[in-house]
Amino acid sequence: MAYEITRDYIRTGNSRPGRSIGTIRFIVSHDTGNPGSTAYGNRNYFDTQQPSASAHTFIDDKYILEIIPLNEVAYHVRANVPEDNRRYGANANDAAIGVELCHGGSISFDAAYDRYVWYHAYLCDRFNLNPRNDIIAHATLDPSRRTDPINILRVNGISWNMFINDVTEALEDFTNSSGNDNDSENTSSGSTPNTAPPRNTVVKGTSVSLPLGEGDSGPFVEDIQEQLIQAGYRLPRYGADGVFGEETENAVMRFQRNYQLLVDGLVGQNTLRKLQEVLQQRVSSPDFPLPTGILRVGDRGNSVRQLQRALKQINYNPGAIDGIYGPNTENAVRRFQSMFRALQNDGIYGPNTRKYIRMELDE
């Protein structure tokens, strides 16, 4: 099965230095580590905030979204880790494509995983790579700090070897396919493809024109609505439905008023940038006290509420803040623990998990 690849490149800056990449020698597989963040949500973040980090491609259940051209450098692996040089003779940022899997929240893991596998096969076909030798997990390159994407695959019942086998099988479909005269490639304004796409792919260019306002619709609008809700601006009637209606416009105007922006109900660069800043901001420790001791399924009370609020603040949604340590809270704790090698993924809140949650809150 062929999937569409969407190219919507972020502007040059800290996240996209604009330097040409060398020969593509391998692929580094990542996951976002931020459950519920979509492909376009990540694109918006990197475009507006411009951290000194990035990846070429973000994949969720709707999009394979290239945000940095594949012939340019992306900062997706620390420069001082030695394993990439030992295996491939080069730093990953200078010789590898970084691919991020979006997961959690309302994202269908199965649909995102299918695209993730297919895109790895696409890259192997395009750059003449061997999946068994030339795809490496971020966790393998930086084991003291990262677990991606191995842990999130494992949580969903997929081992690393199973993933590589799936990519190898998908690559065989590329190899066995004949040329397709219907292939097309349209790139967004100002972007240039580095090579022609392989067989059985459709590469679409798109560019979201800001500002967005009443009457606009689509996944970009849906992401903005979800971010407004996360920032505390409720959309009780329609929620994140992807349609920029009166309810969304009113929420945007309230947000703009609260942050001393031009109150016009339109989502332009300034509003989008401020929304990202608000979502990335961590509340100081006194506002988010963490309980001591051990909490597990069946516990109740204010200590559980404290934990639930903290988990929600760092984007591991435990569901209702009800003071009941039930399956939703346990699952949120497990998802958090799975991101750190030093933590046992048992769904029990104890001193070690507390320490890592505190670090995330204070970051």
How many angstroms separate the CA atoms of 341 and 313, rounded?
A: 22
**pLDDT tens, position by position, 33-43:** 888 889 998 99
For residue 164, what is the enclosing H or E element? helix 160-176
**Biggest distance spanned by C-alpha atoms of the chain:** 64
Domain locations along the chain: 4-205, 219-280, 285-362
Q: Comparing C-alpha atoms, which of 5, 327, 328, 29 is closest to residue 153?
A: 29
* First and final C-alpha spacing in the chain: 42
Structure pTM? 0.65
Paired tokens of 32: 């976002």
What is the Cα 322 distance to its own chain's centre?
A: 28
Question: Looking at the domain covering 285-362, what would its CATH class be?
Answer: mainly alpha
Cα within 13 Å of Cα(288), Cβ side: 19
Q: Between residues 12 and 303, which one has the greater pLDDT?
A: 12
What is the predicted pLDDT for the residue at 198?
Answer: 45
Q: Collect contacts of 314-318 with beta carbons under 8 A, ≥24 apart.
A: 314/282, 314/357, 314/360, 314/361, 315/34, 315/35, 315/36, 315/37, 315/230, 316/35, 317/35, 317/36, 317/105
Q: What is the DSSP letter of 72?
A: B
What is the Cα 358 distance to its own chain's centre?
A: 22
What is the topology classification, in CATH, of domain 4-205? Answer: Lysozyme-like (3.40.80)
**pLDDT tens, position by position, 236-270:** 898 889 899 999 999 999 999 988 999 999 998 88
DSSP E strands, 15-89? 26-31, 57-59, 64-66
**pLDDT tens, position by position, 278-322:** 776 533 334 567 888 899 999 998 889 889 988 988 888 898 888
Answer yes or no: same fold for 4-205 and 285-362.
Answer: no
Four-way CATH pick for 219-280: 3.90.1150.10, 1.10.101.10, 2.130.10.10, 1.10.579.10: 1.10.101.10
